[in-house]
Amino acid sequence: MAGTFTQDHDAATALYSIRMRASLNGLHISGAEGIYNETLILNNSQSLLQRALNHSRGTPDSITLTIERIDAMKIRKIPSLPIYTCTVNSEKDARTAIHSLLNHAGVGTKAAFSALNLIESDMPLSGAALVDALTGKRLDTEAHGGIRVSRLGIEDTALENFQETASYGVHNTYRVIEAVMLASKTASYPGVIAEVCISDNPEYTTGYVSSQGLGYVRIPHIKHEGDARGGRVYFIDSRVDVNSLTKYLQHTPVMIDKFGGNNGIKDLSELIGTDNS
């Protein structure tokens, strides 16, 4: 989580992963997390609990807060993906953008359609589904809810650099950086070809497609307001060992140490480099 209470990390300070998951009637409502030094555990735990209790998807009947010491030597540092926003004026444009971007990243047409069917099915995806980037076959062996990327944080300077360029409104600033952090961790694993995400928040209609090559491309109008379906799909090269990837996504602690930049609004043709004008 890009928290209110952050810090720079040095080798001598004990670091903790703090994770919040909230649900109602067994259904996931919200989740957020971060990696913080021990002096900030109380403040950050409180702000995570406040988020759980004030979520637009409802008041949870169960909140789990996990605080776990992290071995600083095991933290992997990565830069965030650069952010772009694609010019999109309608849901139809958004579909075209999703398919063109995924195709450009190396995802087959069949796989792209399977992913959108998974996200838009009535079976909620609280985590991410792993899908073969060519065939569209689902590869994760978890229950239907998918894999939850965890144990990630952001250093102060990288967060400040993001905030200096962010113009997403008070409420959405955290949402965007948290999504960028998740997408950056996912894209950093060799053999992850791309990701597509549609928010499961009924009033949030911006999603994204991301990959190491494309960066993090925000797509407005990805769904209509009021639609509570959403989720993430990671497109995987068939040679990737799914167990190793799952272990990396869930358990390897990752810190974003550099912000990749905010590159404003771009036409689809600029993003996929096919502007022949």
Stretch that binds ligand PML, among 45-53, 132-140, 150-158, 173-181 (CB under 6 A): 173-181
Q: Binding of ligand PML at residue 194 (CB under 6 A)?
A: no
Instruction: State which of residues 45, 103, 173, 201 lies at the interface with ligand PML (CB under 6 A).
Output: 201
Instruction: State which of residues 126, 184, 206, 262 lies at the interface with ligand PML (CB under 6 A).
Output: 206
Whichever of 125 and 240 has its CB closer to ligand PML, that residue is: 125
Q: Binding of ligand PML at residue 176 (CB under 6 A)?
A: yes
Q: How many other β-carbons are positioned within 10 Å of the β-carbon of residue 62?
A: 12
Q: Binding of ligand PML at residue 16 (CB under 6 A)?
A: no
Stretch that binds ligand PML, among 123-131, 144-152, 202-210, 241-249 (CB under 6 A): 202-210
Q: Binding of ligand PML at residue 175 (CB under 6 A)?
A: yes
Q: Binding of ligand PML at residue 207 (CB under 6 A)?
A: yes
Q: Binding of ligand PML at residue 204 (CB under 6 A)?
A: yes
Stretch that binds ligand PML, among 44-52, 100-108, 136-144, 175-183 (CB under 6 A): 175-183
**Least spacing, CB of residue 183 vs ligand PML, in Å:** 9
Residues that bind ligand PML (CB under 6 A): 175-176, 179, 197, 199, 201, 204, 206-208, 218
